[in-house]
């Protein structure tokens, strides 16, 4: 079952079980996916990777909102965003452990054959799409810097 079908199935289940929060998040997610398909053009369909990218964007937005609401003293809104975040996180792959990430970063460094910090962009182009949903870009960048410093 592809990602879109899974989301639709989960939305139907949420309707039947009257889970208002889950239903709301899934409807919004499917709406964003549909809008992205319309932007792509006639009869376009998003791949599972592109849908995963939409979910990752939603996760980032929720995390930023939680931080802003918490700083503003709006615990009620932060709690709502946290519930939505947890629903979205269920659709992401398991996050990588630090050791797994270090291994993947070192493999990518070897694959790209770089030795200097100024060549980091080449490795980031390999890693970010490959690790989408498993690690955030900032975490990947910090690990890449650490691995390059160790090799220097």
**pLDDT, tens digit, 9 for 90 and up, residues 107-123:** 888 888 887 888 888 88
Please list the residue range(s) of the chain that carry CATH number 1.10.10.410: 98-151
Encode pLDDT of 46-82 as tens digits: 888 899 989 999 999 999 999 999 999 999 999 999 9
Q: What is the pTM of this model?
A: 0.81
Among residues 55, 56, 50, 75, which one has the least CA distance to residue 65?
75
Please list the residue range(s) of the chain that carry CATH number 1.10.1510.10: 3-89
Q: What pLDDT score does 5 carry? A: 93
**For helices 48-71 and 3-16, angle between their N-to-C axes, nearest 10 degrees:** 50
The pair of structure tokens assigned to 149 is: 């410093």
DSSP 41: -
Mean pLDDT of the chain: 90
Q: Which of 65-69, 82-86, 130-134 has the lowest mean pLDDT?
A: 130-134
CATH of span 3-89:
1.10.1510.10
Residue % of the chain over a pLDDT of 90:
50
Class of 98-151 per CATH?
mainly alpha
Say yes or no to pLDDT of 134 above 90.
no
pLDDT band at 152 (very low <50, low <70, confident <90, very high): low
Length of the chain measured in residues: 152
Contacts of 136 (CB under 8 A, 6+ apart): 60
């Amino acid at each position: 079952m592809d990602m879109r079908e899974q989301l639709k199935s989960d939305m139907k289940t949420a309707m039947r079980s009257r889970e208002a929060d889950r239903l709301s998040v899934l409807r919004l997610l499917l709406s964003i996916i549909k809008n992205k398909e319309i932007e792509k053009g006639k009869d376009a369909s998003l791949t599972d990777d592109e849908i995963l990218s939409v979910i990752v964007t939603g996760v980032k937005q929720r995390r930023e909102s939680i931080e802003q609401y918490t700083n503003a003293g709006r615990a009620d809104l932060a709690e709502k965003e946290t519930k939505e975040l947890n629903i979205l996180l269920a659709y992401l792959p398991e996050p990588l452990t630090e050791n797994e990430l270090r291994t993947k970063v070192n493999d990518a460094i070897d694959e790209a054959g770089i030795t200097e910090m100024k060549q980091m962009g080449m490795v980031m182009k390999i890693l970010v799409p490959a690790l989408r949903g498993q690690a955030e870009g900032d975490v990947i960048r910090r690990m890449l810097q650490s691995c390059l410093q160790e090799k220097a």
